[in-house]
Amino acid sequence: MSTILSFQDVTVTNGNRILLDALRFTVCKGEILVIVGESGSGKTTLLKAASGMISPPLQLLGEVCYKGHTLQSSDWQKIYGYELSILFQNALSSFCPVQTIQTQLWDAVRLTGKMNHSEFTEIVKKRAVMLGLPEESLHKYPITFSGGMIQRAELLFPLIMPPHLLLADEPTSAVDSLTQQKIADALLRLRRYHQTAIIFVTHDIRLARYMADTLLVLKQGHLIEYGKASSVIGNPQQPYTKELLFLAGIRKDF
Ligand SMILES: Nc1ncnc2c1ncn2[C@@H]1O[C@H](COP(=O)(O)OP(=O)(O)OP(=O)(O)O)[C@@H](O)[C@H]1O
């Protein structure tokens, strides 16, 4: 499988403070890498590093490579949106407040030139139904959406225009368990049919077990465990990972 993204000794600092410490990992085409770790361990910072969004006062050392090329800041603009999609923790910030969800999605899809308007209206309805979003909500303004609805609305664009790499920062944090399952299944379908590589951040180790091919555990900016998800979950090496699995009821002791 070809490598989509790799971190080569990526360190992120804020002055003297190390937020990420020499991380090394790769993500291949069609792979789902799930990042888990306690609050403040650096999960969002890792996604920012993966998407060229580290800016002063933070500093990035090491190399982030996309499809074999080290990315400089100007390169990210070329892949944003169509090759690389990002689901932010604050999904509302992804939308313009004065246009309906459907109008904004169509504006973005139209620019790709890959779909006409009637194909778009057909597919956007199907994808909304897949995520449990009522069809009529597509004609509403983002501000009228609940937290869980806006998270799902943010996922519509990559489901309509499958990217090569999707970065998702806790995309199920504001939804009930049934909707969580729908989002997880939509992401699994994206991988299965379009070989999208996905880096997915969650606090939910059960969801991680359901989704992940590969699991990466962060603690205070350090990669403490990384490998095939079934191996990490079946045979964790670190006390922290054992505790996470114990607290989720997946292990009987730690
Ligand atoms: N722009 C910034 N300037 C200074 N410190 C930052 C900045 N961004 C993140 N940090 C610090 O880096 C550390 C890691 O933050 P990060 O948001 O990556 O953690 P996280 O694991 O995603 O947490 P959570 O699960 O709570 O979202 C935190 O201590 C945070 O305060």
Question: What pLDDT, on a 0 to 100 scale, did the predictor assign at position 125?
Answer: 97
Q: Would the pTM count as exceeding 0.90? A: yes
Relative to the CA of 221, which ligand 1 atom is closest?
14
Output DSSP code: residue 145.
S
In 3D, which of 79, 78, 73, 140 has the Cα closest to residue 105? 140
Residue 79 pLDDT: 77
Residue-range domain boundaries for the chain: 3-86+163-247
Extract the runs of DSSP E, i.e. beta strands, from the chain.
Answer: 3-14, 17-28, 32-37, 58-66, 69-70, 84-87, 165-169, 197-201, 214-219, 222-228
Q: What ipTM describes this predicted complex?
A: 0.96
pLDDT attached to residue 13: 98
DSSP string, 154-203: HHHHHHHS--SEEEEESTTTTS-HHHHHHHHHHHHHHHHHH--EEEEE-S
Return the pLDDT at 93: 84
Q: Is 19 in the pocket of ligand 1 (CB under 6 A)?
A: yes
The closest residue, in CA terms, to atom 13 on ligand 1 is: 40
> What distance in angstroms lies between residue 248's CA and the mean position of ligand 1's atoms?
24
- What is the predicted pLDDT for the residue at 31? 98
- Give the ligand 1 atom nearest the CA of 46: 18
pLDDT given for residue 26 in this prediction: 97
What string of pLDDT tens digits covers the 254 residues of the chain? Answer: 799 999 999 999 999 999 999 999 999 999 999 999 989 999 999 999 999 889 999 999 999 999 988 877 677 777 777 799 999 888 888 899 999 999 999 999 999 899 999 999 999 999 999 999 999 999 999 999 998 899 999 999 999 999 999 999 998 888 888 899 999 999 999 999 999 999 999 989 999 999 999 999 999 999 999 999 999 999 999 999 999 999 888 888 77
Q: What is the pLDDT of residue 103?
A: 96
Burial class (CB in 10 A: 0-12, 13-18, 19+), 155: buried
Q: Which pLDDT score, from 0 to 100, does residue 176 have?
A: 87
CA of 40 to the centre of ligand 1 (A): 5
43 lines ligand 1 (CB under 6 A): yes
Separation CA 63–CA 10 (nearest Å): 6
Ligand 1 centroid to Cα of residue 192, in Å, is 32
Q: Hey, which of 10, 13, 23, 44 would you mutate to test ligand 1's pocket, going by the most ligand atoms within 8 Å of its Cβ?
A: 44
The finding on whether 45 has its CB within 6 A of some atom of ligand 1 is yes
The domain made up of 3-86+163-247 has a fold known as Rossmann fold (3.40.50)
